[in-house]
């Protein structure tokens, strides 16, 4: 029964991830997608194969299970480095961090054979911190629902290693955790495209913000605000979109020179994360929307 539940959750997650891949086309999030696929596949396959090789209380299984579930935190770390030109080399940082997280498992397997796995103190709080960072990065975006569900699923799967263990049975937490991760992936993959924004610049900003989250969204916003102050543009960028300095929507009669300068600077910043094709699709959608309105 447990194996069937995990198998269904794994299948649903893989289908959702394949569908979600189109959402990250032409972006630097390919590595994040692969880390998500690796984490889900590894953790689920270990649970499916474990009954054929290990007893439920085998210390080796406990160590392998922890090392596999630590992979669930790697997509968030990958996202933090998803900016050109370091997005490729950043994967070495992700692998290194996973090695640090999985060190207790290595110690249990290689140094303390037969001893129970111990994850406590700083290591335990570090796991909790990464879970909170992952949730905080996505909560201010339109993907807050799948992000919250995924965070709860991750917490259930890592409940035995957190500083404040959750009061649930291991088997129940495993099934519920995989089920919530599958649900989160499905909701993310099935979310419809954003409705047309007020302006093309708003559509471009909101789609970027929602895809890359709070960390990179605030960084790009900071750079735009600095450029606006330097060049004295009569516009500003809030988390919810572009406005004039007095908080009004951008006027349609914004001078071509200023509009061109703002768009050129904005495009230059986003090119570190997405392709020209990704940008053009959103600018074209925004223009069509404004024409229809």
Mind listing the pLDDT tens digit for each residue in 150-168? Answer: 899 888 888 888 887 665 5
| Predicted TM-score (pTM) of this structure | 0.85
Q: What is the mean pLDDT of residues 220-228?
A: 94
Enter the DSSP assignment of 54. -
The confidence band for 289, taking pLDDT boundaries of 50, 70 and 90, is very low
Tell me the sheet residues that pair with 249: 243
Burial 50-66 (b: 16+ CB within 10 A, else e): beeebeeeebbbbbbbb
The confidence score (pLDDT) of residue 168 equals: 53
Examine the pLDDT at 241 and tell me if it is beyond 60.
yes
**How high is the pLDDT of residue 158?**
87
Residue 290 has pLDDT above 50, yes or no: no
- Please report, for the chain, the start and end positions of each structural domain, with discontinuous segments joined by +: 2-190, 200-292
Name the band, by pLDDT with cuts 50, 70 and 90, for residue 292: very low
Q: Is the pLDDT of residue 247 over 60?
A: yes
- More confidently predicted of 287 and 220: 220
Round to whole Å and give the CA distance between 32 and 74: 8
pLDDT on residue 191: 77
Q: pLDDT value at position 82? A: 92
pLDDT in the model for residue 167: 56
State residue 80's pLDDT score: 92
User: If we measure between CA atoms, which residue out of 285, 293, 281 comes closest to residue 22?
Assistant: 281
As beta bridge partners, residue 148 has none
What gap in Å lies between CA 195 and CA 13, rounded to an integer? 26
For range 69-98, the mean pLDDT? 92
Residue 243's pLDDT band (boundaries 50, 70, 90)?
confident
Q: Identify whether the C-beta of residue 26 lies closer than 8 Å to the C-beta of residue 282.
A: no
Q: Which residues contact 130 (CB under 8 A, 6 or more apart)?
A: 73, 76, 77
| Residue with the larger pLDDT of the pair 273 and 114 | 273
Query: Where does the pLDDT of residue 245 fall: very low under 50, low under 70, confident under 90, or very high at 90 and above?
Result: confident
Of residues 291 and 11, the one with the higher pLDDT is 11
Whether residue 60 contacts residue 54, with contact meaning beta carbons closer than 8 Å, is answered with yes
Token pair, residue 185, equals 């992936």
Q: For strands 241-244 and 235-238, give the pairing.
A: antiparallel
Is the pLDDT higher at 93 or at 53?
93
Residue 207 belongs to what H/E stretch? helix 200-231
User: Once rounded to an integer, what is the mean pLDDT over residues 57-77?
Assistant: 88
pLDDT at 165: 64
| Spatial separation of the C-alpha atoms in residues 222 and 182, rounded to whole Å | 35
pLDDT at 293: 35
Q: Which sign does the torsion angle of CA 177, 181, 182, 184 carry?
A: positive
How many other β-carbons are positioned within 10 Å of the β-carbon of residue 290? 16
Are the C-beta atoms of residues 210 and 143 closer than 8 Å to each other? yes
Mean pLDDT within 191-217: 84
Cα distances (angstroms) measured from residue 174 to each of 58, 134, 221: 17, 20, 39
């Amino acid at each position: 029964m447990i194996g069937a539940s995990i198998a269904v959750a794994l299948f649903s997650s893989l289908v959702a991830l394949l569908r979600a891949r189109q959402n990250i086309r032409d972006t630097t999030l390919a590595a994040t997608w692969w880390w998500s696929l690796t984490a889900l596949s590894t953790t689920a396959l270990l649970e499916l194969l474990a009954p054929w090789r290990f007893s439920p209380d085998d210390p080796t299984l406990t160590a392998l299970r922890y090392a596999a579930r630590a992979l669930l935190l790697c997509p968030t770390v990958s996202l933090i480095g998803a900016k050109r030109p370091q997005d490729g080399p950043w994967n070495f940082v992700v692998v290194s961090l996973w090695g640090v997280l999985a060190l207790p498992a290595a110690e249990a397997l290689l140094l303390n054979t037969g001893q129970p796995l111990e994850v406590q103190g700083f290591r335990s709080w570090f796991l909790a911190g990464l879970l909170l960072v992952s949730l905080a990065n996505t909560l201010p975006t339109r993907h807050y629902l799948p992000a919250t569900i995924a965070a709860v699923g991750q917490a259930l799967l890592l409940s035995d290693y957190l500083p404040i263990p959750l009061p649930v049975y291991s088997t129940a937490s495993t099934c519920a955790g995989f089920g919530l991760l599958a649900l989160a992936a499905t909701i993310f993959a099935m979310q419809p495209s954003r409705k047309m924004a007020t302006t093309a610049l708003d559509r471009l900003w909101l789609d970027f913000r929602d895809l890359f989250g709070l960390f990179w969204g605030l960084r790009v916003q900071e750079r735009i605000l600095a450029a606006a102050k330097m060049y004295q543009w009569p516009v500003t960028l809030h988390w919810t979109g572009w406005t004039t300095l007095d908080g009004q929507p951008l006027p349609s009669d914004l001078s071509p020179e200023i509009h061109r300068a703002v768009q050129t600077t904005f495009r230059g910043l986003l090119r570190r994360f997405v392709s020209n094709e990704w940008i053009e699709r959103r600018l074209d959608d925004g223009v069509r929307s404004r024409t229809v309105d």
